[in-house]
């Protein structure tokens, strides 16, 4: 029985990896508030209804499925993850946590089992930040930490977030009304593929997350002066590209040489203007993603990075500008909920493995609302954010059984 639930969860993720749920048949991309996102919501809402939930779209554009408790005023346990994807991503990142939540509810509904709490399965819309330059917008709305409403955000097509909401049938001014209140929420549980090689290297299907790393995401603008590549001598150049390259290289070397476990820095996007092979770059815009186990370490390395930028730009007579796009504090998972996950895994006679998450998740935002727990599922070959991302049916089934037992244990610990 459990094997069938686990297989269906994985198969549904694969089904959502193709049109009309993806922008292309050549790759998976599902952007927040896009038509593909809406089509995916329709499919997932149908599966939620079949499992015994009522559904609605909240003011932030999240899909919410509710499995009612025993009484009308019961508190809420939230199970969730994200429905959006990165471009050319994998079909299990985020989506598997939603599908497992649906299967858990289907199991309890078939058993006619209700709890002294309602269970809300939330398919968050914007964990990745793949459309607008701000990630986790929708979980911030739910957690009540969206203190100021970002204005003027636009996607790569020039569509504003206000217009995207309007096209989707929502009013962006109401996004904060998606908020839950801490006095009504007893916990948040998120199941997610590990996105790394630890569990596979140790032959384990599951892991319990202890905490999620702190993050900064910058956009750096380097401004120089355009010039002819053949007539401008090297010592007179104000080459924005050369400056950016030196910054990226020296920043990477500094992090490597510091040898601080869990501190990583990445540049994944770069745009050059005017972008001609025979013209010195006038402007370069590039991303920097900095992560560390603690806020203190993140801040320390961010300060060093800024000093590197200033030193190189001064040396090369370049102007620069920092734009912070992403500022997420480190998040620790709740000890009591981790203990329940440990008991649930032991119930399956599986080894218990604790590990930290270098990747960000909606759980780090929901920690501002309620106690959180995360369950990692083995990622074969440690691959994620790639079409090669996959899972094993038996690991998904083990995660399902763990979540079921976790909820049963939670009934005795509210």
Residues that constitute the known binding site for Zn(2+) = 82, 93, 128, 192, 385
Q: Find out whether 161 and 172 touch, Cβ atoms under 8 Å.
A: yes
Phi, psi of 18 (to 5 degrees): -125, 160
Q: Which residue has the tokens 């049963």?
A: 408
Binding-site members are: 82, 93, 128, 192, 217, 278, 291, 385
Binding region for allantoate? 217, 278, 291
Could you give the CA distance from residue 142 to residue 233 in angstroms, rounded to a whole number?
56
387: which residues sit within 8 A by CB, 6+ positions away? Answer: 27, 28, 88, 89, 90
Buried b or exposed e, range 199-215, using 16+ CB within 10 angstroms = bbeeebbbbbbebbbbb
Q: Distance from first CA to last CA of the chain, Å, rounded? A: 28
With tokens 């009612």, the residue in question is 68
The angle at the Cα of 367, spanning 335 to 196, to the nearest 5 degrees, equals: 75
Residue 369 tokens read as 């609302």
């Amino acid at each position: 029985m459990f094997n069938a639930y686990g297989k269906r969860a994985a198969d549904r993720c694969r089904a959502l990896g193709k049109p009309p749920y993806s922008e292309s048949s050549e790759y998976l991309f599902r952007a927040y508030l896009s038509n593909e996102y809406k089509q995916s919501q329709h499919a997932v809402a149908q599966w939620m209804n079949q499992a015994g939930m009522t559904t609605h779209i909240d003011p932030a554009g999240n899909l919410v499925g509710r499995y009612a408790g025993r009484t009308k005023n019961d508190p809420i346990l939230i199970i969730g993850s994200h429905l959006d994807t990165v471009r050319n991503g994998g079909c299990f990142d985020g989506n598997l946590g939603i599908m497992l939540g649906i299967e858990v509810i289907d199991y309890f509904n078939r058993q006619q089992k209700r709890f002294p709490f309602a269970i809300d399965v939330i398919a968050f819309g914007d964990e990745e930040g793949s459309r607008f330059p701000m990630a986790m917008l929708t979980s911030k709305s739910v957690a009540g930490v969206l203190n100021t409403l970002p204005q003027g955000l636009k996607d790569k097509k020039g569509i504003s977030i206000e217009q995207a909401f309007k096209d989707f049938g929502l009013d962006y001014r109401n996004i904060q009304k998606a908020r839950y209140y801490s006095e009504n929420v007893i916990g948040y549980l998120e199941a997610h593929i590990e996105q790394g090689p630890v569990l596979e290297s140790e032959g384990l299907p599951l892991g319990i997350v202890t905490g999620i790393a702190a993050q900064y995401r910058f956009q750096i603008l380097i401004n120089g002066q355009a010039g002819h590549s053949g007539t401008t001598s090297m010592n007179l150049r104000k080459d924005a590209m050369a400056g950016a390259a030196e910054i990226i290289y020296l920043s990477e070397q500094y992090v490597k040489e510091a040898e601080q476990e869990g501190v990583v820095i990445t540049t994944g996007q770069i745009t050059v203007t005017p972008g001609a092979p025979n013209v010195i770059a006038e402007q370069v815009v590039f991303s920097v993603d900095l992560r560390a186990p603690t806020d203190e370490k993140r801040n320390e390395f961010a300060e060093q990075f800024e000093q590197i930028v200033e030193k190189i730009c001064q040396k090369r007579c370049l102007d620069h500008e920092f734009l912070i796009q992403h500022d997420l504090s480190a998040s620790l998972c709740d000890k009591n909920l981790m203990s329940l996950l440990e008991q649930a895994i032991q119930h399956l006679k599986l080894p218990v493995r604790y590990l930290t998450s270098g990747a960000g998740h909606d759980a780090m935002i929901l920690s501002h609302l309620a106690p959180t727990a995360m369950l990692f599922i083995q990622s074969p070959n440690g691959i994620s954010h790639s079409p090669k991302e996959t899972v094993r049916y038996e690991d998904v089934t083990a995660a399902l059984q763990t979540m079921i037992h976790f909820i049963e244990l939670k009934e005795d610990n509210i």
